[in-house]
Amino acid sequence: MTLSDKIYKWLDDRFKLGELLPPIVKHPAPENVISNPLYCLGGTAFLCFLILVVTGIFLAMYYKPTPDEAYKSVERIMTEVPMGSLVRSVHHWAANTMIAAVMLHMIRIYFMGAYKKPRELNWVVGVFLLLTTTTFGFSGYLLPWDQLAFWATKIGTGIAGSIPIMGEYISLILVGGTDIGAETLTRFFAIHVLILPIAIATLLGLHFMMVRIQGISGRL
């Protein structure tokens, strides 16, 4: 008996894994799904998300969200923290890849008509996932607190401010005043590491639950 067999048996004796796991793990997928890499785009986005969580936790251990310290702390991550520049770069590229994967995933759903009955609500959840993913990118962009970050946020919040009726309030909530400053930085940090992770975890839970219940579209 191998070590993994022994561990499985130990757990099975206590938690009845043999009865619990098959309905969760074993799930038939249509033949045309297994052989088509386009169906991997959602999974690719999810893998990027997991990488972002892990690298983000390490970055949060060194990053300081104040106007005096933010830029310096990022500089320290890049030059002094062991493997800091690698972790930051992986975070950066995983973020870009996730946005690309989510867009392509959505295009695949659209052109294959996978949003049609009974998956309409999962499309709606997907739209919120797209919004959450892009807001992750937008809020993360300000955190290094350099010129690029400052002016990109100025333009972004300006665009949000030009939305009819609600724009003024959205801009006020995001900026935390009339001009980008300390208040904006702490708000963007809270949005990036607290509000959006809770939102995306909830949405992903719903998204995967619906994929599970409805099954993946395609001919069995």
Which residue has its beta carbon closest to ligand HEM? 126
Q: Which residue, among 117, 137, 138, 115, has the nearest Cα to 127 in the 3D structure?
A: 115
Interaction of residue 211 with ligand HEM, rule CB under 6 A: yes
Burial class (CB in 10 A: 0-12, 13-18, 19+), 109: buried
Q: Fill in the DSSP letter of residue 180.
A: -
**Contact flag: residue 140 with ligand HEM (CB under 6 A):** no
Task: Give the residue with the Cβ less far from ligand HEM, 40 or 172.
Answer: 40
Under rule CB under 6 A, residue 217 binds ligand HEM:
yes
Q: Is the Cβ–Cβ distance between 210 and 119 less than 8 Å?
A: yes
Write down how long the chain is: 220
DSSP code of residue 2: -
Residue 171 binds to ligand HEM (criterion: CB under 6 A): no
Task: Pick from 71, 123, 141, 150 the residue near ligand HEM by CB under 6 A.
Answer: 123
According to the binding rule CB under 6 A, does residue 115 interact with ligand HEM?
yes
Two structure tokens written together for 26: 């074993």
Min dist. Cβ of residue 135 to ligand HEM (A): 12
Residue carrying the six token digits 């996730």: 98
- Residue whose tokens read 């970055």: 59
Residue 52 in contact with ligand HEM, rule: CB under 6 A: no
Our finding on whether 43 is near ligand HEM (CB under 6 A) is yes
Judged by beta carbon, residue 28 or residue 43, the one nearer ligand HEM is 43
**Calpha distance 114→38 (Å, rounded):** 12
Residue numbers at the binding site for ligand HEM (CB under 6 A): 39, 41-43, 45-46, 49, 102, 105-106, 109, 114-115, 119, 122-123, 126-127, 129-130, 133, 204, 207, 211, 216-217
